[in-house]
Amino acid sequence: MSGHFASTWIILVLSSLAPSEARELKTAREVRSLSAKAAEKGEPVAIEGQVIFSDPPNTVFLQDETAGTFFRLQGKQPPAPGDILSVRGVTFPGLYLPGIEEATFEQISSENLPPGIPATYEDLQDGRYHYQRVRVQGIVRSVRAEEEGVSLVVLSMGSSLLRIRVEAPENPEVALVDSQVAISGLAAGLINDRRQLVSPYLRVRNWEEFEFVETAPPLEQIEPVSTTELLTFDSETRGGHRVRIAGQVLGIFQNREMYLRDEDSSLYVALEEPAPSLVSGQFVEVVGFPEMAEFRPRLSNAEIVAESEMAQPPQPQLVSLEELYDGTWDGNLVATEGIVSEAFATDRGIRLTLREGNRNLRVITPDPKESIDRGMRIQVVGICRVEQTRSEQYRAAPELVSIRLRSPADLAILRKAPWWTPRRLTMTLIAMLLFSGLAILWITILRRQVSRQTLALRSKIEKEAVLEERQRIAREFHDTLEQDLAGLTLRLDAATTQTEDEKLSGFLQGSRHLVTRIQTETRNLVSDLRDARGDNTELNETIESLLEEQPKGIGPRIQLDLDTLPPLPPRTAHHLKMMTREAVTNALKHADASHILIQTRQATDHFEILVRDDGRGFDAGELDRRNPGHFGCMGIRERARKLNAEVSWNTAPGEGTSMLVRIPYP
C-alpha cells in the first residue's frame, strides 16, 4: 500500500514539473480582454463565431455570444457576412483592440445576421461595442458620395453627429434626408497613435440595413418659420427636423456661408451645396436643420428651394461699438466706425482691431484697396458675429464680437493716421538716442584728440624752449669758460718753459694737466648741450662713447658687458650716461682701481646698469652724510629720481664698489 502511494506521489510531482501546454482562448471577450502587451505574445485562439462584416482583402469581423473581434485574411478567400466560422490563430495587439493573426478558418454553416445591439452615441464613443454589430437611431442630416461605390451619411443623434459609411453608391430614389431611421452596422472609429478612439463611425454593408421610422415630409409641406421662432420653447415642435425660412441675402462667403435676414431678425445658413450664382440682395427660401451656434441659432445642411431676381441691395444698420455688444445685431448687416489699434495679415485676409471707448471689435476683411495703418479712423460694413459669450446667471452675454466684410469696398478710411504713430515715435527716439550717443562719442574722441594735440604742442614748445636754452648755455660756455681755460693753458705752458725750478715746474705741469681735464669736461658738456637729436638713443652706444673720453693705455682697464636694450629717449639716455660717467670718474679719482666693469642687463619690465670696480672702497655710511665739496653721489640720486629709477651702492673698505641702477621702461 505504501509503495503504491509513493509511486502515485512521484507521478504527480513529475506531472507538475512537466511543461504544460498554453491555454487556448475560446471566446471573443477573452481575446479583446487582453492588454496590448499580453496580446503581443501570440496567445493561441480557437473560437467559433458569425461573420458580421467582411472587409477584403485584409480583415473579417467576427462576433460570438460574448463580444466581437477580428482576424486577418492573409490572402485567403473572404467569407460572407452571416457565415458561421471556426477560427484558429494567435493574438496580436491591433490598433485599438487585440485581434487574431496567422488565422485559419473553416465554415460551419450560414445564418441571418443577428439584430444589432441598441447603442447611443456615447456607447460608441467609449468603445464598449467596438467591432460589434449595433443598431442606432436618428435623423439623417445629409447624404453624399464619399468615393466610387461608397456613400457617406451624417446621422443626427440628439446633439451629436455620427458618420456612417455605406458600402454602396447613392440611391436617388430613396429620400433619406430629414427622415428618422434605424441603422444596423459595424461599430468602428478613427484611432490615434496612442490606441485611443478619436471619433466613432458606423460601417454598413448596403442600404438594406436602413429602416425608416419616420419618413421625411416633402419640401413643399415644410411649414415656414421666422428667425425668431427657431429653437424657442414649443411643446408641439418637431425637434431635429428641417425648417423653412425666407429672407433677403445679406452676404455670402465662399459660395456656401450665407447670412439671411427676414422681417424679424437674421441668421447664418450653411449650405450643403455651393451656390455660385447667389448675390447679396436676392430673396430666397431655404430649408435646413436648426442648431444653436455660439449665441444664436443657425441652419446647417441647408438647401435653396426658391430664389428671386436681384433686388435692391440690403442697407446696413448704423450702430456703435457699444451697441454691438448687446447681442441683438448678431448675424445682421451693420456699419460702424472706430480707430485701428492692430492690423496684420491672416490666411483669411487682413485682421483689424477697432477701438472706440472701452470696446474692441475684431474685423476680418479681404485685401483692402489701401494700406491700413494704426491710428486710422475707418468705417466698416459687414456681418456682425458673436464669437464668444459669458454667463450672467440665466443669460448668455456677448464677450467677443467681430465683423466680417464682404468685399474691400466695405471699408472706408475716414481719417488718416497721425504721422506721429507709436512706431515712428519709437524709431525717432531710437534715432535721437543713437545720434546723441554718436555725438557724445565724437565729442569724447575730439577731446582726447585735442588733449593729445595740446600735449604734443606743449611738449614741442617745451622741447624748443629747452633746446634754445641749451644752445644759449653752450654758447656761453664756449665763449667764456672754454676761452678762458684755453688762455690759462697757454700761460701755464709759457711759465713751464721759462722756469728752471724743478719743484715749481712740476707744480705748473700738474696745474696744466688739471686745466686740460677741465677743458675736456667743458667740451663734453658743450657737446651734450649741442646734441639736439629728438630720436630715441641707443644707450649702449652712449656708454661706449665714454671709453673714447679716457686716455689710451693710461689708468685702469675698463670692460664693457652690454646686453641688447631698446632705444631710449635722449633725456633718459643723457641722465644714464652722466650717472655712469660719474661712477667711472669716482673710481678713477678715489678708488685707485685697476679694473672697472660696466654692465647692462634687460628684464621683463625694467633694465639695469651696473658699474663695479676693484678699488679701495669706502664706508657705505658716508653716503648718508653730507661731505662739503663732494656732490657726485648726490647728483646720481637726483638724476635717478627724475627717471623714477632706483640706485644702490654695495661697498666696504678694501672690497671695491658696485653701483646698481634699476630703471623701469618708460
Give whole-number Cα distances, 443 to 141, 428, 432, 452, 551, in Å.
80, 22, 16, 14, 61
The structural architecture, per CATH, of the domain 117-214 is Beta Barrel (2.40)
Say yes or no to pLDDT of 64 above 80.
yes
Common-topology check for domains 28-110 and 537-664: no
Residue 266 CB neighbours (<10 A):
22
pLDDT digits (tens, 9 = 90+) for 253-306: 999 999 999 988 899 999 999 998 888 899 999 999 999 888 889 999 999 999
Q: Which CATH superfamily is domain 316-418 in?
A: Nucleic acid-binding proteins (2.40.50.140)
Computed over every residue of the chain, the mean pLDDT equals: 85
d(CA 224, CA 215): 19
Write the burial class of residue 503 (CB in 10 Å: 0-12 exposed, 13-18 middle, 19+ buried). exposed
d(CA 70, CA 99): 5
CATH of region 537-664, choose from 3.40.640.10, 3.30.420.10, 3.40.50.2300, 3.30.565.10: 3.30.565.10
Domain boundaries, the chain: 28-110, 117-214, 217-314, 316-418, 419-532, 537-664
Return the C-alpha cell found at 63: 462576433
Instruction: Yes or no: say if 555 and 584 are a contact pair by the CB < 8 Å rule.
Output: no
Distance (Å, whole) CA 560 – CA 621: 29
Provide the 8-state DSSP code for 568: B
| H or E segment and range at residue 438 | helix 422-476
pLDDT band at 629 (very low <50, low <70, confident <90, very high): very low
Amino acid at 476: E
503: Cα separation from own chain's centroid: 105
Q: Count how many residues are written for the chain.
A: 666
pLDDT at 536: 63
With a cut of 80, say whether residue 527 has pLDDT above it. no
Q: Which residues contact 61 (CB under 8 A, 6 or more apart)?
A: 51, 52, 53, 54, 55, 68, 69, 70, 131, 186
Q: What type of residue sits at position 350?
A: I
Given a contact cutoff of 8 angstroms between Cβ atoms, the answer to whether 270 and 298 are in contact is yes
- The residue among 233, 176, 186 whose CA lies nearest residue 81 is 186
pTM of the complete model: 0.61
* Higher-scoring residue by pLDDT: 47, 615: 47
Residue 10 has pLDDT above 50, yes or no: no
User: Which DSSP letter does residue 635 get?
Assistant: H
Q: Which three cell numbers stand for residue 373?
A: 495703418
pLDDT in tens, 100-142: 999 999 999 999 999 999 999 999 999 999 999 999 999 999 9
Q: How far is CA 359 from CA 318, 336, 418, in A?
A: 16, 12, 21
Mean pLDDT of 401-427: 86
Strands 150-157 and 160-166: antiparallel
Rounded Cα distance, 447 and 444, in Å: 5
CB 366 within 8 A of CB 405: yes
Neighbours of 121 (CB within 10 A): 18
Cell 496567422 found at: 102
Retrieve residue 543's grid coordinates.
Answer: 656708454
* CA proximity to 294, closest of 331, 239, 337: 331
Is-contact 640 664, C-beta < 8 A?
no
End-to-end Cα distance, the chain: 122
Residue 392: per-residue pLDDT:
83
CATH class of the domain comprising 28-110: mainly beta
Instruction: List the one residue out of 342, 368, 339 whose CA is nearest residue 355.
Output: 339
Q: Domain 217-314's class?
A: mainly beta
Name 216's Cβ contacts closer than 8 Å, sequence gap at least 6.
140, 175, 176, 177, 178, 179, 241, 242
Assign 162 a pLDDT band (cuts: 50, 70, 90): very high
What pLDDT is attached to residue 21?
A: 54
